[in-house]
């Protein structure tokens, strides 16, 4: 099983590809699938601001487009310019996209340049709405 520190390293590499010309806030994500594959993502902004997307969704959608839908963890790093700025918590939309494919125990690994912080999806998105709820 891949170590958290390795996944963080890959997220930091992905962050270098971020296209964040408007906010200047660069984010990288490394998503570990249950089959062992890793999918990278960065934020990709746009002159029409809402057309941009986050690093986490880039990684998740890349995996889904590759036919992979089962994930165990994601590492995320973010910050302006060359440095990490605190923990880059996933936004609400990304949390909901995680919920589509991941269960409560899905691990979200954050890194501020010094320390790691691990959260589960259940902690970051309690009382969530998911496809299970559509059955009722
Ligand atoms: N961003 C992410 O990539 N992930 C998050 O979860 C938070 C925000 C990006 C979106 C935008 O390009 C920039 O950070 C500032 O919001």
61 in any annotated domain? yes
Q: What is the pTM of this model?
A: 0.96
Mean of the pLDDT values across residues 120-135?
Answer: 95
Radius of gyration of the chain (CA): 14
Does any domain span residue 132?
no
Residue of minimum CA distance from atom 13 in ligand 1: 25
Which range (30-44, 47-61, 122-136) has the least confidence?
A: 122-136
Which pLDDT tens digit goes with each residue over 13-26? 999 999 999 999 99
* DSSP letter, residue 79: E
90 domain-assigned: yes
Let me know if residue 93 belongs to a domain. Answer: yes
Place of tokens 């390795």: 6
Q: How remote is the CA of residue 37 from the centroid of ligand 1, in Å?
A: 24
Q: Which residue has the tokens 């009382």?
A: 127
CATH number, domain with residue 10: 3.40.140.10
In a domain, 135, yes or no: no
82 — pLDDT class (breaks 50, 70, 90): confident
14: which DSSP letter?
H
- pLDDT category at 126 given cuts 50, 70, 90 is very high
Helix pair 55-65, 4-15: axis angle to 10 deg = 100
CA dist 35 and 71 (Å) reads: 8
Percent of the chain with pLDDT strictly greater than 70: 100
Residue 109 pLDDT exceeds 90: yes
Q: Which domain holds residue 61?
A: 4-125
CA distance linking residue 39 with residue 133, whole number of Å:
28
Pocket of ligand 1 (CB under 6 A): 20, 23, 25, 27, 43, 45, 52, 54-56, 90-91, 94
Note whether residue 134 is domain-resident: no
The C-alpha angle with vertex 95 and arms to 97 and 68, in degrees rounded to 5, equals 40
Ligand 1 center from residue 68 Cα (angstroms): 23
Q: Is residue 130 one of the residues assigned to a domain?
A: no
Total number of domains constituting the chain: 1
Pocket test for ligand 1, best of 21, 43, 46 (most atoms within 8 A of CB): 43
- The whole-chain average pLDDT of the chain stands at 96
- Specify if 72 maps to a domain: yes
């Amino acid at each position: 099983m891949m170590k958290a520190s390795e996944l963080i390293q890959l997220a930091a590499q992905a962050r270098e590809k971020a296209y964040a010309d408007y906010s200047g806030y660069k984010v990288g994500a490394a998503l570990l699938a249950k089959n062992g594959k890793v999918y990278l993502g960065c934020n990709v902004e746009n002159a029409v601001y809402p057309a941009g997307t986050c690093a986490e969704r880039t990684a998740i959608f890349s995996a889904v487009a590759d036919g992979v839908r089962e994930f165990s963890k994601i590492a995320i790093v973010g910050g302006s310019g060359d440095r990490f700025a605190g923990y880059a918590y996933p936004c609400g939309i990304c949390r909901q996209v995680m919920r589509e494919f991941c269960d409560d125990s899905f691990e979200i690994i954050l890194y501020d340049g010094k320390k790691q912080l691990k959260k589960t999806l259940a902690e970051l998105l309690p009382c969530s709405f998911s496809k299970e709820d559509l059955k009722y």
